[in-house]
Chain A
């Protein structure tokens, strides 16, 4: 299979270590934590929360792999169980609400209800879980080279910057 390299990875401005990291993101992760059914449900949710056009980043798989590796951000809401447990419990609970025939507008209605704390319980404040999930999704999406290209984001290409180069803001 030949895949054209995303333009950001063709930039000569990437440092060796930055290029290496961006390249690893082209390969979908292999670690799994969730069951196939849970993963399918998570995929339904992720495409409803952050629908992609122009990119096809495997967001649910990336989250699954992070859960398998138990990679957290260094904190969590004290009201939520540890992330792997929170994801399993939340998906279990949502499996009762999300049927195969559910429409995307129905999912959005459900998500809005979650956001407004209507489905919160004392052991699982689903609104906080949804907030954490949304943060995770935006992170994985924006970290992908394809999304960098979509946003014409050239931040990583810093190798040849010099102090005397003016910032564009100087002309205002």
Chain B
């Protein structure tokens, strides 16, 4: 690995090595820039021997500094919503890799252009509805939608178009070797995925059976894991998935496209340096406000890396937490605002046959039939995924949602070999009651613990109920009995939204801070709305886009 002296001024410091930081680091290094990545966690150089096939032991891949969770629907962190280590949360992500639906990027203008009585028109993309003027903020008057929610949401359009993302989507899918169908049923223009679909596990077969009975279309899901050996230009050779099923505990053979086996080796080959176990504690700025150095601790010692630019890619909790600690980039007052998590309702049922939930890639089937359901009484939509799961993660859902106690709890947990589930990823509208702040409580590092408030509105409630009905119908049609619902949320989104107005956004449409000329943000914190799609692919696409903008505008 190339190394840089902390006293030399490097071109850029990248904070975080996950879905945002890793592609960006590779892009900058490949352009010949001197770049250093600071990663708070460990560098697992030998996953085959570093990773145990065990749910508890692999919590070493989670961010375990305590976060405080509150609101009407407090979201869980740790295993569900955090990551640490070289590769970030891609080390344990599910690699479910859908693209964003173009309509989700323009939810606000779509809503305003939709006629109340013709919901069918909402399935059209009305890109030219508001070509030049920015629509007023709270003009959601459609009586079909919950009015209480509409008045409370901070819904906005993304300041970029699908076309801005599409070419990056394609680039990422090809570089990572995404497995998926030749024809994507909900997007006829999409090219065939680079690799054939992964083998479906039993939960996927059950979902397919139920959906077929109900006339719901399904497709093998796009998965960022290899169904065949793969070698992308500039990357190392990777072996295909062996269906061990512990994808959320870290892949042992490099089949899953976590950043440590894809973009980060490419970055290292191009001369980037990665410093692991390096926790950022502050910055230094010059009289013009530009950042001149990043301060961090490593092995209990303070370090300083001089730099010309900083890319903050620490995710939608640690990124705003750092900005609030630094007390910068917040002239809009929007840092920490607009926190979102996907409505991630799951439903579970028992089947006569063994379901082998622990083998195969966990989620391998998708339907996007509910991204704009014609009978919706809510904005946005959701996708449904099949769900394989390991016993402890499943039992946590049982404990939190099914509320069994005593013998019924023990007896139900023993049903694990015969249960199967489905889950959704649904839109959450941003609202003023969901946000991240710094608490008064300090963690072991002496820094304030982040306090995350998640409050769901009427729109999320209606979406959840719609989804619950469909999940139950599919499970029943597949032969499932003893159905129940796990009410949950997943993914951390928002807190540093991008926009076109410095008064109500933290960064511009390229991820650049409105306040600090050499600070960029590239992670899920810049998402203006949640999208229904799982975020990883869009984070990577945005990060590459931000890197390209930086490279072509370095004289700014």
Contact = CB atoms under 8 A, between A and B. Distances in A.
Interface in A140-170: 141-143, 150-158, 161-163, 165-170
Contacts of B204: 169
A51 B53 CA distance: 27
Nearest to A171: B205
B201 interface: yes
A95 interface: no
Contact of B406 (A75, A108, A156): A108
A52 B414 CA distance: 11
A72 B66 contact: yes
Contacts of A78: 68-70, 74, 439, 451
A161 B204 CA distance: 20
Nearest to A127: B403
A49 interface: yes
Interface residues of A, number: 56
Contacts of B398: 138
Given A15-B53, A49-B406, A111-B405, A73 B59 contact: yes
B70 A77 contact: yes
B481 interface: no
Contacts of A165: 242-243
B416 interface: yes
B500 to A, nearest CB: 34
Contacts of A20: 52
Interface in A69-120: 72-79, 82, 104, 108, 111-112, 115
A156 B245 CA distance: 10
Given A75-B78, A78-B70, A163-B242, A151 B53 contact: no
B246 interface: yes
Interface residues of B, number: 67
B49 A49 contact: no
Interface string A38-50: 0000000000111
A51 B49 CA distance: 36
B162 interface: no
A1 interface: no
B96 to A, nearest CB: 18
Interface stretch (B2-10, B18-26, B130-138, B387-395): B387-395
Interface in A1-49: 14-18, 20-22, 48-49
B205 A169 contact: yes
Contact of B405 (A15, A21, A79, A108): A108
Which 9 A-B pairs give the minimum distances between C-beta atoms?
A74-B78, A75-B77, A138-B395, A155-B358, A78-B70, A78-B68, A169-B202, A158-B244, A73-B78
22 contacts: A14-B53, A15-B49, A21-B52, A21-B54, A49-B405, A74-B63, A77-B69, A78-B70, A78-B74, A82-B66, A139-B396, A142-B413, A143-B54, A155-B53, A155-B246, A155-B391, A156-B53, A158-B244, A167-B199, A167-B202, A168-B359, A169-B360
Given A74-B62, A167-B199, 4 more contacts: A158-B245, A163-B239, A167-B243, A169-B205
